[in-house]
Structure 1
């Protein structure tokens, strides 16, 4: 079997898996339908791109269709970016302004209109025959890599904002949005780097090396798509987003500073009173035992503005809301572990009793707070 046939088979498998996964995402019940639609669109667009390794045998006789197929690659990165926004922010909706992301796709096809789409059949065939030696290939590749870099940076900025706001406002450790999207973005970046190296080989005279590089890219695509399938099957409702209207605490502080300038001494006294009120509430009412506690929930319970509470915890106490609440949970867990009358409780039961719902996050937080695992702490304090 020659390398071209092997590349065709690998890409055919990748496209088949893509369509299956896209069908699953479009039909599975989920709270975040838009996120699934955008992810399915991203996967389909990648499948269309990968199909070029086997479908060109047919589409070469329909040059306009083949060129349009190639142009859809300019939509891959924008759709992935919109997908990132959709799963990070619960209130995200597609708006007419998002059509601006399709500008490269439109411009690409408009530029080809006079020199390709409206040209005669023989000119189009000649274009494909000389494609690897043309200046158009260099321009298209350069744009593709620049576009990818722009959107990947934008996605990492979204992730940074998401993580910051989440830690300042939520405590539910079961969310895997950040981890999933971060892993996915890193993997896509690595694969794109391999594709970039492969693209450089297109200008070499040795087609064997280029074909081998294409095989590696195709195998990577199959493995990544299979990883997608496993993730989707095991976690059909993967994500918990946040409200995009939430602002980082540093933004709230800057806004407060620009609107009011209270006397420093008065501010300190008032703040100390509020902090003590907060600590008393946490000790007496134990709201931290609620696994899905948010800063909004706590503010409602204490009947105080959520902005003031968020600033108090995240700025005045110097802790993320996430860490602040987990400290109380760990202290409660330590109390149970030290109590001989509660030794029948397993570590798993204790973590659920204290507001955690993830063993890994409980162990991580406990080790961070005590430098011991829960089991080690129990043994040390039972002597």
Structure 2
């Protein structure tokens, strides 16, 4: 009976958890169906990749199936990129053009046909023993690492654009979707940096112990991250508030208001003061535009270009003024800060404290004491 190493045990546990979470995402009822399916696909691809740590238990020796399985790594980053797109943009759909992202996988397989897929076991072993000088294998490794770097950069660019659009259209400063995706991408980048070091050591360092130690570190980090995925999925089953991909950033468009600016601004500010729509914690620019019987795009341009504010800053300014009045009111001295923040439209203490200090230079408690 083969001895099972610690690396294999960690690999098996990570493999099982990844598949269980993938099946959970595929079976759970949610409005984020395409996002769940794409993240499930990413987890399944990750599980296939993780199975390499215990491949000797079910697929001994070198085989065409084993090589094909390892090349499935080419699908991980495109699927992750599509997942981020689907979370950020409510109108995202998979299209035939997205199949172009599979080209590197097919190129790698075609290159390996002559000297790996089409030869016998003996020649496969000979090729593998000299892997650090075989250009096909070097190409595969470099391509996978370059692909990772390119997609990580694309994801960060996408998240930056999403955050700007979100700030221009929602009054809530915190997007759980952005926080989750940013953390997820950052953690992935850090862990894969260790993987790159590990793979680099395989080519330049003949000391097997060094490579195995780094491999074990990667496996432990991988298991921790997978457990983190599970906790996130259980704690926030409905994470996301997506925007429309067709929504352009206001700064990139022309100002559609001219002489009527002052009238529109007066109308907007008057409505904010009298009707107090900012007390709604989930107020969006679309909601406000509907109440004003205006186009949401026009309201966005008015706030961003003419008042030189993001939508959430504009709304929070009114919320803070409302909170200041409550804090100064002796009859409401028994109101706690938590009660006040919910009363004026905030939904978290951290965002309230940040906004309050930004507008007044003091914390709510300090402001109350000073008055």
TM-score range, shorter chain: over 0.9
Q: Identify the match of residue 373 of structure 1 among 336, 357, 363.
A: 363
* Residue 288 (structure 1) aligns with: 278
Q: How does 1:1-383 map to 2 (within 5 A)?
A: 5-61=5-61, 63-173=63-173, 175-203=175-203, 204-253=205-254, 267=258, 269-381=259-371
Where does the alignment leave 5 or more consecutive residues of structure 1 unmatched?
257-261
Q: Given that residues 271 and 312 in structure 1 are in contact (C-alpha distance below 8 angstroms), is that contact kept between their aligned partners in structure 2?
A: yes
Q: Given that residues 357 and 363 in structure 2 are in contact (C-alpha distance below 8 angstroms), is that contact kept between their aligned partners in structure 1?
A: yes
Residues 241-268 of structure 1: CA deviation (Å, up to 9, x unaligned): 11111110022227x5xxxxx9xxxx2x
Q: Given that residues 131 and 138 in structure 2 are in contact (C-alpha distance below 8 angstroms), is that contact kept between their aligned partners in structure 1?
A: no
Q: How far apart in 2 are the matches of 1:137 and 1:102?
A: 18
Deviation at 1:311, TM superposition (A): 0.9
Q: How far apart in 2 are the matches of 1:30 and 1:344?
A: 41
Deviation at 1:10, TM superposition (A): 1.7
Q: CA, structure 1 residues 77+202, in 2 after alignment: closer, same or farther (shift >3 Å)? A: same
Structure 2 counterpart SS, 1:102: helix
Deviates further, 301-310 or 206-215: 301-310
Deviation at 1:171, TM superposition (A): 1.2
Task: With the length of structure 2 as denominator, give the TM-score of the two structures.
Answer: 0.94
Residues 169-220 of structure 1: CA deviation (Å, up to 9, x unaligned): 1113463111111111111111111111111110211111001010000010
Q: How far apart in 1 are the matches of 2:89 and 2:333?
A: 42
Deviation at 1:61, TM superposition (A): 4.6
Report the count of equivalent residues. Answer: 368
Residues 16-71 of structure 1: CA deviation (Å, up to 9, x unaligned): 22112212222222211111111111122112112111113432357111011011
Structure 1 counterpart SS, 2:223: helix
Deviates further, 353-362 or 158-167: 353-362
Q: Given that residues 60 and 125 in structure 1 are in contact (C-alpha distance below 8 angstroms), is that contact kept between their aligned partners in structure 2?
A: no
Q: How far apart in 1 are the matches of 2:63 and 2:189?
A: 31
- The alignment's C-alpha RMSD in Å is 1.9
Task: With the length of structure 1 as denominator, give the TM-score of the two structures.
Answer: 0.91
Deviates further, 122-131 or 29-38: 122-131
Deviation at 1:4, TM superposition (A): 8.0
Q: Given that residues 39 and 83 in structure 1 are in contact (C-alpha distance below 8 angstroms), is that contact kept between their aligned partners in structure 2?
A: yes
Q: How far apart in 1 are the matches of 2:5 and 2:91?
A: 46
Residues 123-161 of structure 1: CA deviation (Å, up to 9, x unaligned): 334333443553333222211111111101110111011
Q: How far apart in 2 are the matches of 1:160 and 1:147?
A: 20
Structure 2 counterpart SS, 1:155: helix
Residues 246-304 of structure 1: CA deviation (Å, up to 9, x unaligned): 110022227x5xxxxx9xxxx2x421221111111111111111111111211121122
Q: Which runs of 4+ in 1 moved over 6 A?
A: none
Q: Given that residues 60 and 66 in structure 1 are in contact (C-alpha distance below 8 angstroms), is that contact kept between their aligned partners in structure 2?
A: no
Structure 1 counterpart SS, 2:72: helix
Q: Given that residues 326 and 365 in structure 1 are in contact (C-alpha distance below 8 angstroms), is that contact kept between their aligned partners in structure 2?
A: yes
Q: How far apart in 2 are the matches of 1:4 and 1:13?
A: 13
Q: Given that residues 171 and 325 in structure 1 are in contact (C-alpha distance below 8 angstroms), is that contact kept between their aligned partners in structure 2?
A: yes
Q: How far apart in 2 are the matches of 1:152 and 1:164?
A: 19
Q: How far apart in 2 are the matches of 1:50 and 1:375?
A: 51
Structure 1 counterpart SS, 2:290: helix
Where does the alignment leave 5 or more consecutive residues of structure 2 unmatched?
none
